[in-house]
Structure 1
Amino acid sequence: MGDQLSADEDSIQPLKRCSILSYGVGHMLNDITSACWFTYLLLFLTDIGLSPRNASIVMLSGQIADGFMTVFSGELIDRFGHFKLWHVGGSVLVAISFSSVFGGCLLCQLLGINTDLLETIGYSIFAAIFNVGWAATQVSHMAMVNCMTLNDTSRVALASCRNAFTMVANLSLYAIALVVFSIFDAKSSSGIQNQYRWIAYVSIFIGSCFVGIFLLGTKEPQLKQQQCKHYQRVSWTYWFSKLLYYQVALVYMFTRLVTNISQSLLAFYVINDLEMTQSSKASIPAIIYICSFVVSIVLQEMKWNGWRLKFFYTIGAILWIFSGAGIFFLPSKIHNFMYLLSITTGIANALMTVTGISMESVLVGNNLQGCAFVYGSLSFLDKISCGLALFFLESFQSSPSTEGCHDIRGCQSVTRYGSGLVPAFFALLGAIVAYTMKIHDIKPVPLVEPLLV
């Protein structure tokens, strides 16, 4: 009994800076490849000749594989644990398969046939394999938060640090892309494939280095094993009976829809609608993630409670609504205004993402025997909804127009809706659901060592 009390006391102590930082870098490989996936996949596939609809099928196949794998891996992690084993296995699969997603059609090369249907199938296979590994890494990494500490403020710090390094990963991706786009010529399909192949190679190398730091610096969480000795495993029906589960699921889903849909169509928007330079498809996203990174760092220093989570989420949603409206109505002749909108978008993304993920930790609380299922099932909703939403939008997408939007009355393209109004609408829905949530108060315990010195 004395050992159990001592373990419980240790588990509620705030985490130190090194533990938070080593955990935060663990999702870098997933994040840098995800940034490339959502920002450039549709653009890459349409540039090499696939129709927007077939390109969206490739993305949808990956999202479906990702969604089902999150539930499957969540169930197995809840049963058997071994977070780091799942993490390293998923990372290896991501590293091996990702270059093929942005490479040539391997299936076409093997069969010696090159048709639109075969290309779509070939890219879809590797997209699915990549997302299976991605899901295993994501669920294991997110579920670790609740099993590393019972301190609620440290859990928010872990989520915020993870989000900060997500921004670092995205910035790294756009820096790589900017260099590659400047160096390599891309006047042909083979040139485009060569560009993205190099982006994939460098991204995998950088992400794998940070995975190594995570594996060396983060210990396998022990709270789950300790709790297994005293509590039975939490069943699915327990979560399905909680109203907060559905509310958090909707908030998380709407948040991901906001960030992923806008990110996926942003490159099309700045090039085709605003008629900006080719470098803008790297510089505009970079500004967004610089702002998100700064805000994520600041959020790590705050003392958190349930009211503040809801308040800052709502602030982020309101900012996104204004940004989305600006993006939708912005004519190409004043496209430089997009730089200002990028700043507000980045701030809104950070506020919504950090607080949205932290709400998942609040939902799980101390029920560590079902934490992976919660993260897996919520990610399932995220993946499937994003895949279907992008498929729906791309089904109405036509070939890029040579005429930009010079007048507000002409701003009716699919990319404008997808980059502006659609995410703004989901942000509004997320704010409404967050307002209805009843979150128990988190005891505001400061970090042992502030991350900002």
Structure 2
Amino acid sequence: MEISAHHQMSDEYTELYSRVPLKLQLAYGIGHVLNDVCASMWFTYLLVFFHLVLEFSNWQTGFMLLIGQVADAIATPFVGYHSDQSDNFWFCGYGKRKIWHLFGTVCVLGAFPFIFSPCIGCTNSHKSVQIFYYSMFIIIFQFGWASVQISHLSLIPELTPNEHDRTKLTAIRYCFTVISNVLVYVITWIILHMNNGENSKIGPSDGPKFQRVVWSVLSLGTVCSLLFHIIVKEVGNEGTNNVRGGQLRTSVGDLLTNVTVYQVAFIYMASRLFVNLTQVFIPLYLHETLDMAASSLALVPLIMFIGSFITSMLIEKINRCCGRKLTYAIGAILGITACIWVKFGTGVDYISHYIYLVAILFGSGCSIILVSSLGVTTDLIGEKTDSGAFVYGIMSFADKLANGIAVVIIQDLHNDASNTTYYRDVLTNVCGAAAFSGALAVICLFTRVRSRNLDYESVPNYNSINN
């Protein structure tokens, strides 16, 4: 494959910089653990908690998740834009990314425990009053979550100019995401299994158990956030860790008129739809379609994320060998295979054994798809790191809005309690379509880059991964 002279110069330029040390890689990775454990609870157990424990209707539970996703969608571009501009503030000597990370951490810790607790002073009130109560904490939590997510992601292109190091940082970040999810499910399984017994189902009496899970994982997340802020250093007023001796900036207008930005946003949105909807509806599929015990609502997601963890350690090598396009396609194939198996999986053997193989396929597919989509976004930012947070904000806006709308529509359409195969069909059709759409969009993006021979500056690093 022919490589432009400009790209060759860029490769020689990046070689001048030392690779990111392991200590910094690990410290960066744990900086998102608090968000990860909260996201695991949010996507996996929010509908379970509000529907089965607090006894809200399907529509009401979906509506509250939608409120959170809309709040997150609005917050992400706001945080992204102001994070890019915040070097004018006095407190940003601490670091313009890290100050938003710290602010978001405080919001998350202050609001999240109330979401998985009974409505204080209004447990017997009308459901609309309780929805308003929970919505206030959900909005605060989501604004804080967005602040941590965007500031953490926008550090990747600033910590290193090297494409493979960026992929490694993304993979390490996702590796800790998987570890966080595994810990959440282990803790949940222990609490539900030890207290509920082998065959019991989730019910209103399980509220205190979910609260114990929340406080356990928040303690872990708090420690990790403290270590991140102590170890990872950011130079504030001089423009963060200036790995190039000078950063490039793209105006908001240029970003919003760039077709490639919208293509990448669609890829990220489809990827997140597959990952998040799988995580949201697997527990309800296990509970309603397969009629499995309460402990399985933690055990099956645990197996899923163990598969994801193993895969995440191989992604950087797969990407280096195959390129972004083929790597994403491999993840999509694994995910679609799992969706098809869910469609036709029945019987005692499936419930006893094969469901765990399906979980591994889901986990591996999610790992590859998500890391690859983040890598494509990082490549879009390229050397224009001063616009990085806003770019991630655009991606996250599309992702959060699409996920919220999808969940509320899916929940609203489920108005027949006797239809036990509903969530099976959701996993097969909706999640499968999301994985297929993401793979198709990746192929179209790279085909467009190659056929039009787009300039390296307008689509940074794509020539290097278009293989």
Q: TM-score range by the shorter chain?
A: 0.7 to 0.9
Q: Provide closer, same or farther for how the CA distance between residues 427 and 377 of structure 1 changes in structure 2, counting only shifts above 3 A.
A: same
Asked if 1:353 is matched to 2:370, the reply is yes
2:137 pairs with one of 126, 136, 148 = 126
Q: Distance in 1 between matches of 2:17 and 2:417?
A: 55
- TM-aligned CA deviation for residue 107 of structure 1: 6.0
Asked if 1:70 is matched to 2:76, the reply is yes
| Native 8 Å contact 2:69 2:404 kept in 1 | yes
Aligned to 2:156: 145
Q: Provide closer, same or farther for how the CA distance between residues 272 and 241 of structure 1 changes in structure 2, counting only shifts above 3 A.
A: same
Please tell me the residue identity of whatever aligns with 2:117.
Answer: G
Please tell me the residue identity of whatever aligns with 2:308.
Answer: S
Please tell me the residue identity of whatever aligns with 1:219.
Answer: K
Q: Provide closer, same or farther for how the CA distance between residues 416 and 115 of structure 1 changes in structure 2, counting only shifts above 3 A.
A: same
Q: Provide closer, same or farther for how the CA distance between residues 182 and 218 of structure 1 changes in structure 2, counting only shifts above 3 A.
A: same
Q: Distance in 2 between matches of 1:206 and 1:400?
A: 38
Aligned to 2:453: none
SS at match of 1:275: coil
SS at match of 1:304: helix
Q: Provide closer, same or farther for how the CA distance between residues 303 and 436 of structure 1 changes in structure 2, counting only shifts above 3 A.
A: closer
Aligned to 1:26: 31
Aligned to 1:4: none
Asked if 1:156 is matched to 2:156, the reply is no
| Native 8 Å contact 1:159 1:354 kept in 2 | yes
- TM-aligned CA deviation for residue 227 of structure 1: 8.8
Aligned to 2:430: 422
SS at match of 1:437: helix
| Native 8 Å contact 1:11 1:151 kept in 2 | no
Please tell me the residue identity of whatever aligns with 1:348.
Answer: G
- TM-aligned CA deviation for residue 183 of structure 1: 3.8
TM-score of the two chains, using structure 2 as the length reference: 0.85
Aligned to 1:85: 99
Q: Provide closer, same or farther for how the CA distance between residues 87 and 107 of structure 1 changes in structure 2, counting only shifts above 3 A.
A: farther
| Native 8 Å contact 1:257 1:423 kept in 2 | yes
| Native 8 Å contact 2:338 2:361 kept in 1 | yes
Please tell me the residue identity of whatever aligns with 2:80.
Answer: G
- TM-aligned CA deviation for residue 236 of structure 1: 1.4
| Native 8 Å contact 1:107 1:122 kept in 2 | no
Aligned to 1:317: 332
Q: CA RMSD in A?
A: 2.5
- TM-aligned CA deviation for residue 182 of structure 1: 2.6
Q: Provide closer, same or farther for how the CA distance between residues 53 and 13 of structure 1 changes in structure 2, counting only shifts above 3 A.
A: same
Asked if 1:327 is matched to 2:342, the reply is yes
SS at match of 1:108: coil
- TM-aligned CA deviation for residue 332 of structure 1: 4.6
| Native 8 Å contact 2:308 2:367 kept in 1 | yes
Out of 37-46 and 186-195, give the one that drifted further: 186-195
Asked if 1:216 is matched to 2:222, the reply is no
How do 1:41-56 residues align onto structure 2 when only pairs under 5 Å count?
41-47=46-52, 48-56=54-62
- TM-aligned CA deviation for residue 172 of structure 1: 0.6
Cα distance per residue 1:395-418 (max 9 Å; x no partner): 0123755x86xxxxxx4x1x1122
- TM-aligned CA deviation for residue 247 of structure 1: 1.5
How do 1:11-410 residues align onto structure 2 when only pairs under 5 Å count?
12-47=17-52, 48-81=54-87, 82-106=96-120, 108=122, 114-184=125-195, 191-220=205-234, 224-225=239-240, 226=242, 233-301=249-317, 304=320, 308-333=323-348, 334-336=350-352, 337-398=354-415, 401=418
- TM-aligned CA deviation for residue 10 of structure 1: 8.4
Cα distance per residue 1:22-74 (max 9 Å; x no partner): 10111000001100100000011011210010011111111111111111100
SS at match of 1:49: coil
- TM-aligned CA deviation for residue 97 of structure 1: 0.9
Please tell me the residue identity of whatever aligns with 1:378.
Answer: M
Q: Distance in 2 between matches of 1:20 and 1:385?
A: 31
Q: Provide closer, same or farther for how the CA distance between residues 227 and 26 of structure 1 changes in structure 2, counting only shifts above 3 A.
A: closer
| Native 8 Å contact 1:11 1:150 kept in 2 | no
SS at match of 1:118: helix
Q: Distance in 2 between matches of 1:303 and 1:425?
A: 23
TM-score of the two chains, using structure 1 as the length reference: 0.88
Q: Distance in 1 between matches of 2:14 and 2:218?
A: 40
Out of 142-151 and 293-302, give the one that drifted further: 293-302
Please tell me the residue identity of whatever aligns with 1:250.
Answer: F
| Native 8 Å contact 2:307 2:364 kept in 1 | yes
Cα distance per residue 1:293-331 (max 9 Å; x no partner): 1111122345638x6111110111122111111112322
Q: Distance in 1 between matches of 2:385 and 2:165?
A: 16
Q: Distance in 1 between matches of 2:133 and 2:383?
A: 44
Please tell me the residue identity of whatever aligns with 1:322.
Answer: T
Q: Distance in 2 between matches of 1:11 and 1:228?
A: 10
Q: Distance in 2 between matches of 1:9 and 1:312?
A: 24
- TM-aligned CA deviation for residue 254 of structure 1: 0.2
Aligned sequence identity (%): 28
Q: Distance in 2 between matches of 1:154 and 1:229?
A: 18
| Native 8 Å contact 2:83 2:97 kept in 1 | yes
- TM-aligned CA deviation for residue 277 of structure 1: 2.1
Please tell me the residue identity of whatever aligns with 1:51.
Answer: S
SS at match of 1:103: coil
- TM-aligned CA deviation for residue 106 of structure 1: 2.8
| Native 8 Å contact 1:304 1:442 kept in 2 | no
| Native 8 Å contact 1:262 1:423 kept in 2 | yes
- TM-aligned CA deviation for residue 105 of structure 1: 1.2
Q: Provide closer, same or farther for how the CA distance between residues 152 and 188 of structure 1 changes in structure 2, counting only shifts above 3 A.
A: closer
| Native 8 Å contact 1:105 1:123 kept in 2 | yes
Q: Distance in 2 between matches of 1:297 and 1:188?
A: 34
Out of 168-177 and 12-21, give the one that drifted further: 12-21
Q: Provide closer, same or farther for how the CA distance between residues 221 and 310 of structure 1 changes in structure 2, counting only shifts above 3 A.
A: farther
Out of 177-186 and 206-215, give the one that drifted further: 177-186
